[in-house]
Amino acid sequence: MVLIRKNALKFILNASKRTYPREFIGLLRGGPDIIEEILLIPRSLFGDNFSVIEFNMKPIDPSIIGSVHSHPSHSYEPSDADLRFFRKMGFIHLILKYPYQSIEDIATYDMNGNRLPLHVLEDVVNIKKDDDPRNPWK
């Protein structure tokens, strides 16, 4: 099972909508089974039925765990090119399909193209001690 923070989920859904009909692409940052945020790489190309990341622009960053990209169609099945890319770029990969409305429009894969379950992790809001309604000294 892979977890994704709600803000990261909203970001990729909105980025995919705004890029449509071109493909959106980015990298995933987080831990072994949690997607914390999305990293956009300079000079990435969002094309018609393809997307490209400039590997020489990718930072040396151990928190990069995989990739995300959108398909401008109703399929989130990985192509042969997607599968080759998966093996080069981490161990968790997301593909979004049109219309990019919810988590139901996202498929999660491991580096070998096997499907993984994806669940949303609600973002935790840190309450300062002074803002805590239970604080009797307020």
Q: Delimit the domains of the chain by residue range.
A: 2-122
The beta-carbon contacts of 78-87 under 8 Å, at least 24 apart in sequence, are 78/109, 78/113, 81/50, 82/113, 83/112, 83/113, 86/110, 86/111, 86/112, 86/113, 87/111, 87/112
pTM as predicted: 0.85
pLDDT of residue 15: 95
pLDDT of residue 54: 78
Catalytic residues: 23
pLDDT digits (tens, 9 = 90+) for 36-83: 999 999 877 677 877 878 777 788 899 999 999 999 999 999 999 999
With a cut of 50, say whether residue 104 has pLDDT above it. yes
Homologous superfamily in CATH for domain 2-122: Cytidine Deaminase, domain 2 (3.40.140.10)
- Looking at the DSSP bridge assignments, the partners of residue 120 are 4
With a cut of 90, say whether residue 138 has pLDDT above it. no
- Looking at the DSSP bridge assignments, the partners of residue 94 are 68, 108
